[in-house]
Chain A
Amino acid sequence: MSSIRINPFPMPDLLSALENLQQEQSTATLEMGTGSTINKPSDDPAGAAQLTLVNAASSQIDSYQQSIGSINSQLSTADSTLSSVVTVLQRAISLGVQGANGTLSDTDRSAIVDELSGIQSQLVSLANASYQGQYLFAGTAETQPFVVDPNAASGVSYKGNTGTNFVTIGNGYQVQVNVPGSQIFNGTGADVFQGIHDLIGALNANSGVPDAVTEVTNAYNYVTAQRVFYGNAMNQVQTQQTFLGIEKVSLSQQDNTVAGADMATVASQVTSDATAINATLDAIGSMPRTSLFDYLK
């Protein structure tokens, strides 16, 4: 015979082509369902590895954002507490200025002293403020930081420590979250409790009142200066919050670039696979069911 003899059984070829198409279609359908082109590592080994890294980075950003959320509340509680301290000290200064007036009667001065004693306890309670059970101004100690103590020169002694805590809110980015109470309230020559204590003493003795007022004013200035720390810290974490938001978007874009299924492409893949499957089935169906034998009569 001169012509090339062909394989009289093309069926296995067609079946294997059909199998491949069906597999392709099922992959495309899965991609459409999950919206991801990587549904198992072998779909794109390098992409799957990159996805692991992107996911880890993204979950890290989530945790930075959570940390920022909780330290932000902590910082703003501390800040508003100090704002109250400042207001109270302002009142103490004006009371002191009032008391320095020589024309005041003893009764008037004693009324002022009463109010100042109230202010003193108010300040102690503000300095012992806490957030979710944690003292804000105890350094890293867990004890109540300021205790009324008749033996202390200022009438109040500090039981906290000078420790500070840092919280990580970005890769290699740590922010200090507290200032020890001693640093805020016990400034050298600007001690809040010493100032009030001395002012009360001066008013009772009716002497040296202006000096005591200066002392309280120094304390006022000092606390105001320390308060700036909290303002700055809140600014810092808010800026970082914004940055992390952007970072998160960029990571999800990266995620999408690595594994995002392009719906239009996938959908048309599913359709074209279906067409090819039908065509193959047609080819199988239209394979001659008759042979020359049927025509021999």
Chain B
Amino acid sequence: MSTLFGTMSIATGALGAEQGALDATTNNVANVNTPGYSRLQPVLVENDPITMGSVTYGAGVSLEKLQSLRDPILQTRIQEETQQQGQLNAFVTAMQQAQVQFTTSSGDIGTEIANFFSSLSQLSTDPTSLASRQGVLTAAGNMATAFNNTANTLTQQRSSLDLQVSQDVSQVNVLTSQIASLNNQISQMQGVNQDASALVDQRDVLIGQLSSLIDVSTIQSDNGLTLTTSNGTALVVGGQSFALSTQTNASGMQDIYSQGSDITSKIASGELAGLLQVRDQTIPGLLSNLDTLAAGLANNLNTANALGYTLVQQPNGTLQAGGNLFVAPPASGQGAASTMAVAITDPSLIAASSDATASGSNGNVANLSAVQTQAVANGQTPTDYYSNIVYAAGNDVSNGSAELNSSQLILNQLQDQRGSISGVSLDEEASNMVQYQRAFDAAAQVVTTINDMLYTVINMGTLTG
């Protein structure tokens, strides 16, 4: 049979175990609002039984450990979705700013192109009027300014995106070095069998932040956690972090380097990917379309103006032929939109006449007006081509926003799932507390009872004596 002292030790063991379990509850309640906290669950185990003769006695309970409840696969899914969301968010935010340029207004490119051709219409009814001619020059100037402003605003936006890229890279470096140092601490604690769940939670939060910036894959191995980008560039290997750096490239933008190799084009998700996509593809694409349109308009209008005659009379009595209406765009077309400018200030130099001997002719105005229906860019008329640019800008934002919304939805669901596993419920903690408290009370009662029994046993001799 067991001894009273043996029973006593079972009861005191139970007191310790319940108190430890209550510790878990206390810690859970304390961290109810801590972001990224995973709730602790006490793991209680039955002690090995003791067999004496034919009877096997239970040996009570032990608190084996406090287990942190987390789902690593879910955590990875959350990281992936956070990366996706970071990318879409950066893309949509940047493109929302860019599309403002293409919103129909009193001064957008589409309106100014239409105004310019209207001014030519006016000129055709009164080809010698200096007022009508001035009207054409003013409208041409406004059209050029609309191109300049749109292109310049897009270019400025590109520069501010570039600045953001550099800031994000510094942020990534701060996070990876913090993660590396946590890795170190975690593996040291685990090495001496200590519970590192608090640090693991912290690390998960940091990895979450890192995921919103850049694409991160996590690999858990015996010697700690390795973080790489999806193309395999190491960010953190165990206790060591590898900082990213930036270098200015030929077009004045910052390229991202890791240990000497350029990984700019290899960043697949996260805010950086979104920023780079707009900076290196979407905005340059829009700018190049604007250049094509500006160059096409300027060249065709110059050609048309050269077909006619100005109001300026030459010594031989005939009228001077028309020259360039717009400054000739660069041969490559690159920068045509930002540098578009009217070449003349004298309204009499508009070649409205198609007759070298008659300044009252309006025959060449038709040639100038015809540019409106000519294929000036990629086989399209100016208005058609411009409307395609509007479509492209709007479509980028609209698609991006739709993807962003669904990504947000998925992320919410994943966070819900995470919450259902790792989140602290105060009701649950309260009920656990009551349960552990009652168990503690009961164990304490047992101790009291055994104590009474021992007293009885100790005083047995006195009673008989």
Contacts and interface: CB of A to CB of B under 8 A. Distances in A.
Contacts of A38: 104
Nearest to A68: B125
Nearest to A73: B125
B102 interface: yes
Nearest to A7: B419
B387 A292 contact: no
B104 A48 contact: yes
Contacts of B9: none
A53 interface: yes
Given A6-B420, A16-B412, A42-B96, A49 B114 contact: no
Interface string A30-54: 0000000011111111101111110
Interface stretch (B75-83, B232-240, B421-429): B421-429
Nearest to A71: B125
A105 to B, nearest CB: 49
Contact of B427 (A40, A46, A141, A292): A292
Given A40-B100, A70-B126, A167-B362, A60 B118 contact: yes
Contacts of B394: 40-45, 48-49
A74 interface: yes
A67 B122 contact: yes
A4 interface: yes
Residue of A55, A56, A174 most packed against chain B (CB within 10 A)? A56
Contacts of B429: 293
Residue of B114, B392, B416, B429 most packed against chain A (CB within 10 A)? B114
A7 B419 CA distance: 5
Contacts of A195: none
A134 interface: yes
Given A45-B398, A62-B118, A140-B361, A292 B431 contact: yes
Interface string A149-170: 0000000000001010111100
B35 to A, nearest CB: 10
Nearest to A165: B362
Interface in A103-130: none
A49 B390 contact: yes
Residue of A41, A49, A292 most packed against chain B (CB within 10 A)? A41
A196 interface: no
A38 B398 CA distance: 12
Interface stretch (B174-182, B321-329, B350-358, B450-458): B350-358
A2 interface: no
A138 interface: yes
Contacts of A161: 355, 357-358
Contact of B426 (A39, A40, A293): A293
B358 A140 contact: yes
A163 B355 CA distance: 8
A51 B96 CA distance: 19
B357 A52 contact: no
B115 A292 contact: no
Nearest to A174: B366
B5 interface: no
A141 B355 CA distance: 9
A138 B426 contact: no
A296 interface: yes
A297 B417 CA distance: 33
B435 to A, nearest CB: 12
B104 A52 contact: yes
A63 B360 CA distance: 21
A53 B419 CA distance: 51
B148 interface: no
B424 A8 contact: yes
Size class of the B contact interface (CB-based, 8 Å): 35 or more
B297 interface: no
A56 B125 contact: no
Contacts of B384: 53
B274 to A, nearest CB: 16
A181 interface: no
Interface in A130-189: 132-135, 138-142, 161, 163, 165-168, 171, 174, 177
A106 B30 CA distance: 133
Contacts of A135: 360
B103 interface: yes
Interface string B353-382: 101011111110010010011000000000
Nearest to A74: B125
A132 B124 contact: no
Contacts of A50: 387
Nearest to A161: B358
Contact of A8 (B102, B392, B426, B430): B426
A4 B420 contact: yes
Contacts of A55: 104, 110-111, 114
Given A46-B391, A55-B111, A63-B122, A41 B353 contact: no
A51 B405 CA distance: 27
B434 interface: yes
B387 A53 contact: yes
Residue of B115, B126, B357, B420 most packed against chain A (CB within 10 A)? B126
B430 A293 contact: yes
Nearest to B111: A55
Contacts of B366: 166, 168, 174
Interface string A82-107: 00000000000000000000000000
A41 B393 contact: yes
A168 B427 contact: no
A40 B361 contact: no
B114 A60 contact: yes
Contacts of B412: 12-13, 16
A208 to B, nearest CB: 39
User: Which 3 pairs, one residue from A and one from B, show the smallest C-beta to C-beta distance?
Assistant: A41-B394, A7-B419, A45-B394
30 contacts: A7-B420, A7-B423, A41-B390, A42-B96, A42-B393, A42-B395, A42-B401, A44-B398, A48-B394, A49-B387, A51-B104, A52-B383, A53-B384, A55-B110, A56-B110, A59-B111, A60-B117, A62-B118, A63-B122, A64-B121, A133-B129, A140-B361, A140-B363, A163-B361, A165-B363, A167-B362, A293-B426, A293-B429, A296-B430, A296-B433
Given A45-B393, A163-B358, A165-B363, 9 more contacts: A42-B398, A43-B394, A50-B387, A59-B118, A70-B125, A132-B126, A135-B360, A165-B360, A168-B366
Interface of A: 4-10, 12-13, 16, 20, 38-46, 48-53, 55-56, 59-60, 62-64, 66-67, 70-71, 74, 132-135, 138-142, 161, 163, 165-168, 171, 174, 177, 291-293, 296
Interface of B: 95-96, 99-100, 102-104, 110-111, 113-115, 117-118, 121-122, 124-129, 353, 355, 357-363, 366, 369, 372-373, 383-384, 386-388, 390-398, 401, 405, 408, 412, 415-421, 423-431, 433-434
